[in-house]
Amino acid sequence: MKSLIRKCAIGGMVLALSTAASATTFVNVLTGGTSGVYYPLGVTLSQIYGEKIPDSKVQVQATKASAENLNLLQAGRGEIGFSLGDSVSDAWKGNAEAGFAKPLDKLRAIASVYPNYIQIVALSDANIKSLADLKGKRISVGAPRSGTELNARAILKAAGLSYSDFAKVEYLPFGESVELMKNRQIDVTLQSAGLGVAALRDLSAAVKVNFVPVPADVVAKVGDAAYQPAAVPANTYEGQTADVPTVAINNLLVTHDKVSDAVAYEMTKGIFENLERLGNSHSAARQIKLEGAAKDLPIPLHPGAEKYYREKGVLK
């Protein structure tokens, strides 16, 4: 009888060890709207992780982007997500106005990736050539409390404008904003995204538009180091024949402290060993550089990511 009990105990231990060894690693990649940049990059990342992370089950979740992604990560309802750097900073501090009722202290950085450009696009016949011309117009500023909408608030405030200055304000994702533009239900859309975002390519191919510049002095008035003067290069979109001054804000890939060091290491490695593949999924990813990935982060780096960067000599 004792021998039988011992055999059963040993068998149970073997089964438990076998189950643990083959435990599934769940990776939920949090992105943004399907017409933005986060989504196609997230799809490609999910494919890479599915191939490279052992015993993994990976999925992609379309979301309202930055703020929602950060709140989901804090709640453990995702393993990696995209967010604008200023949103990450607001989340870490607990900026209620930005949608974070308390500090999101579980967030950890994986990498600083590529910059978002604030791209303000108006119908050509709406006579909007400058930020001052926006007054009295109909505008879409992005999904409520998304990174885009928070960027819109900051830039408009720096330009001396508020939402009350507009004839109409819509809070819609990129694709829906473009449809309203095509139907002439709004005059202008502000989109914070990587260069060549699909929604604006679609818009510029469908109707005549012009890009509204954001001068460097307005960028300076934002008073946030995350906002840097930049330009949308000529010919990024159809009919856009000159560089357009604007502002750039870095995007981050973020995780949380309950993700294991091993998984965070593989997620980081998956990014930088597949840059060409990511660049093929969207041109914005061609700006991702290993050298800058761990610089000027507003939150702590995940130890798994840190291990990868030390191996590569990026961190000493």
The total domain count for the chain is 2
The verdict on 242 and 121 lying in the same domain is: yes
pLDDT given for residue 181 in this prediction: 97
Token pair belonging to 270:
């998956």
pLDDT in tens, 242-253: 999 999 999 999
pLDDT at 15 over 60: no
Query: For residue 254, which of 105, 54, 134 has the smallest C-alpha distance?
Result: 105
CATH of the domain at 123: 3.40.190.10
pTM of the predicted model, to two decimals?
0.85
The verdict on 142 and 69 lying in the same domain is: no
The verdict on 244 and 271 lying in the same domain is: no
Helix axes 38-52 and 261-272, enclosed angle (nearest 10): 120
Domain that holds residue 134: 116-249
* Residue 157 within a domain: yes
Among 249, 264, 297, which residue terminates a domain?
Answer: 249
The verdict on 256 and 223 lying in the same domain is: no
pLDDT at 2 over 60: no
The verdict on 245 and 255 lying in the same domain is: no
pLDDT given for residue 22 in this prediction: 55
- The DSSP secondary-structure symbol of 37 reads S
The verdict on 195 and 256 lying in the same domain is: no
Q: What residues contact residue 70 under an 8 Å CB cut-off, 6+ apart?
A: 81, 83, 87, 88, 91, 100, 104, 107, 254
Average pLDDT over residues 196-216: 96
